[in-house]
């Protein structure tokens, strides 16, 4: 289904976007998963959307095969310009993908964990730092209690242990996250952010085997101010250009 010319014009701010007739039908869904997910056999409720449909996947990983993933489908309510930003040196690893489209029930593409790259990539050749830490991630403090956490041998330059908490947010859907894992001595924790999504973490690092056993609900004073600035990964034009392509029937993709 092609994108109406008026829709493209309203995205560029040259005309007012219609809010009445001609609404689209979109799938509606939001859930948080710990581990792989598969939505292919699910039947979603539908909602009426004035401008378009959207689907979002946010994932936070310990880097040691323990992810928590937020999935949301609904109306496209985000801004029409902005940049996805990330810090490639930050840990724990995270991932975001945002997809907007125009067409009835077009937000049906992000259905399995296969959309997420491997965030637990082991170094090749496999080298260990000699440090052992607790590793866990969850949406409840008890998910990350020391007795439910794994003991992992840290990779390469990850010679300190990390513990922290934060939130994963897209639109008005937000979930808390609690995490323990290995980290680099820099302890940089800035994650993915954009005008549509955010993965915010605060935490602290410590030295010593299995030292990250303290409470993950405490308030942390994270030295993010001294961390290097986030590097824009997809700029404004990267958002607008796919929208022009979508006039031929294709979707808009934003990911890092």
| Peptide bond connecting 56 to the previous residue in cis, omega within 30 degrees of 0 | no
Report the pLDDT value the prediction gives residue 176, as an integer from 0 to 100: 97
Spell out the alpha helix ranges (H) of the chain.
5-11, 236-245
The mean per-residue pLDDT over the stretch 17-38 comes to 83
Q: Is the pLDDT of residue 130 over 60?
A: yes
Report the pLDDT value the prediction gives residue 150, as an integer from 0 to 100: 97
3-state secondary structure of 236: helix
pLDDT band at 222 (very low <50, low <70, confident <90, very high): low
pLDDT tens digit sequence for 158-213: 999 999 999 999 999 999 999 999 999 999 998 888 889 999 999 999 999 999 99
pLDDT band at 241 (very low <50, low <70, confident <90, very high): very low
Q: What is the mean pLDDT of the chain?
A: 81
How do the domains of the chain map onto residue ranges?
Answer: 5-114+126-255
**DSSP letters for 65-115:** S-EEEEEEEEE--S-SS--EEE-TT-SS-EEEEEEEE-STT------BGGG
Selection from 4, 169, 186, 1 nearest residue 88 by Cα: 186
The mean per-residue pLDDT over the stretch 12-24 comes to 49
| CA–CA separation, 192 and 199 (whole Å) | 6
pTM, rounded to two decimals: 0.79
Contact yes or no for 136/148 (Cβ under 8 A): yes
Report the pLDDT value the prediction gives residue 77, as an integer from 0 to 100: 81
Q: What is the percentage of the chain residues whose pLDDT exceeds 90? A: 64
Report the pLDDT value the prediction gives residue 81, as an integer from 0 to 100: 76
Q: In whole angstroms, how far apart are CA 140 and each of 73, 157, 181? A: 23, 29, 16
Report the pLDDT value the prediction gives residue 17, as an integer from 0 to 100: 44
Q: How many whole angstroms from its chain centre is CA 20? A: 32
pLDDT tens digit sequence for 38-55: 999 999 999 999 989 999
| CA–CA separation, 199 and 59 (whole Å) | 9
Report the pLDDT value the prediction gives residue 170, as an integer from 0 to 100: 94
Residue 22 backbone class (left: φ over 0; alpha: ψ -120 to 50; beta: rest)? left
Between 134 and 8, whose confidence is greater? 134
Asked which of 11-15, 39-43, 90-94, 120-124 is least confident by mean pLDDT, the reply is 11-15
| CA–CA separation, 176 and 132 (whole Å) | 26
| CA–CA separation, 55 and 26 (whole Å) | 10
The mean per-residue pLDDT over the stretch 139-164 comes to 96
């Amino acid at each position: 289904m092609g994108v109406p010319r008026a829709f493209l014009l309203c995205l560029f701010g040259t005309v007012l976007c219609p809010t009445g007739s001609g609404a689209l039908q979109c799938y509606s869904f939001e859930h948080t998963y710990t581990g792989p997910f598969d939505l292919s056999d699910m039947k979603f409720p539908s909602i009426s959307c004035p401008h378009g449909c959207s689907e979002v996947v946010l994932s936070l990983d310990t880097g040691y095969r323990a992810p928590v993933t937020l999935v949301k489908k609904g109306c496209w309510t985000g801004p029409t310009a902005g940049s996805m930003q990330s810090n490639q040196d930050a840990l724990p690893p995270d991932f975001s993908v945002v997809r907007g489209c125009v067409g009835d029930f077009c937000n049906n593409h992000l259905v399995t964990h296969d959309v997420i790259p491997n965030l637990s990539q082991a170094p090749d050749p496999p080298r260990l730092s000699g440090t052992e830490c607790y590793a866990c991630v969850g949406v409840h403090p008890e998910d990350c209690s020391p007795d439910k956490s794994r003991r992992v041998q840290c990779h390469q330059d990850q010679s300190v242990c990390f513990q922290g908490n934060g939130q994963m947010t897209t639109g008005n859907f937000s979930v808390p996250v609690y995490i323990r894992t290995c980290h680099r001595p820099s302890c940089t924790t800035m994650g993915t952010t954009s005008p549509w999504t955010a993965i915010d973490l605060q935490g602290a690092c410590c030295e010593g085997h299995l030292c990250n056993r303290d409470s993950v609900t405490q308030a942390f004073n994270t030295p993010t101010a001294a961390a290097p600035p986030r590097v824009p990964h997809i700029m404004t034009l990267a958002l607008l250009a796919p929208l022009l392509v979508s006039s031929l029937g294709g979707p808009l993709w934003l990911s890092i």
